[in-house]
Homo-oligomer: A and B are copies of this chain.
Amino acid sequence: MSATAAAIERELHTDIPLSLAMGVRVSEASLERVRLSAPLAANLNPHATVFGGSAVALAILASWTLLRLRERAVGSTAALLIQRSSMQYEHPITSAFEALCELRDEEAYERFRRTLERHGRARITLGALIAQDGARRASFEGDFVGLRS
């Protein structure tokens, strides 16, 4: 784990206590890609697979972390709030799992940035995947709103 990832992990655990309860670890954190992991034990459902609420929470955390890193990189302290989330659960997850958010649409982020600068408020859609051992288990999409502080 890089020094950045370690610092972001500590911050996540402090800022969002549920991430600590879920056992969230930051595996990668860059402006292009955030990868978080969580163990099975803290996130179990009664069928010995991952609770759907934990999976969607990990996807939200990965997407929000990527957006926060982007905003910080340009000196923005905008509040970043989720406005809509949707999740498709494709297969049960039977072990530790990961959420991966990649920013693939640079233009969408640039529009978000410009609108936030100009109007103090902007919206962006981010996608994330949930995987177990590298295989996709669920897919997430979320709309986030930035509010200039």
| A interface residues (Cβ-Cβ under 8 A, vs B) | 15-18, 21-22, 41-47, 49, 51-54, 56-58, 60-61, 79, 81-89, 92
With a cutoff of 8 Å between Cβ atoms, the chain B residues found around residue A92 in the complex are 81
Q: Which of A21, A53, A56 has the most CB of B within 10 A?
A: A53
Question: What are 15 A-B interface contacts by the 8 Å CB criterion?
Answer: A15-B45, A16-B45, A17-B41, A17-B43, A17-B44, A18-B43, A21-B22, A21-B42, A52-B60, A53-B53, A53-B58, A53-B61, A54-B57, A84-B89, A86-B86
Q: Please, which residues of chain B bring their CB within 8 A of the CB of A17?
A: 41-44
User: Lowest 7 CB-CB distances: which A-B pairs, in order?
Assistant: A53-B57, A21-B21, A52-B82, A15-B46, A86-B86, A53-B60, A85-B87
Decide if B42 touches A79 in the complex (CB within 8 Å): no
Q: Once the chains are docked, how many angstroms separate the CA of A132 from the CA of B76?
A: 30
**CB-nearest residue of chain B relative to A46?**
B15
Cβ-closest chain B residue relative to A41 = B17
Residues of chain B lying within 8 A (CB to CB) of residue A87: 84-86
* A84 proximity list for chain B (CB < 8 A): 86-89
Are A85 and B86 interface neighbours, CB within 8 A?
Answer: yes
Which residues of the partner chain B approach A79 to less than 8 Å between Cβ atoms?
47
A82 surroundings in chain B (CB, below 8 A):
52, 89
Partner of A56, one of B42, B43, B56, B88: B56
Q: Is the CB of A53 within 8 A of B89?
A: no
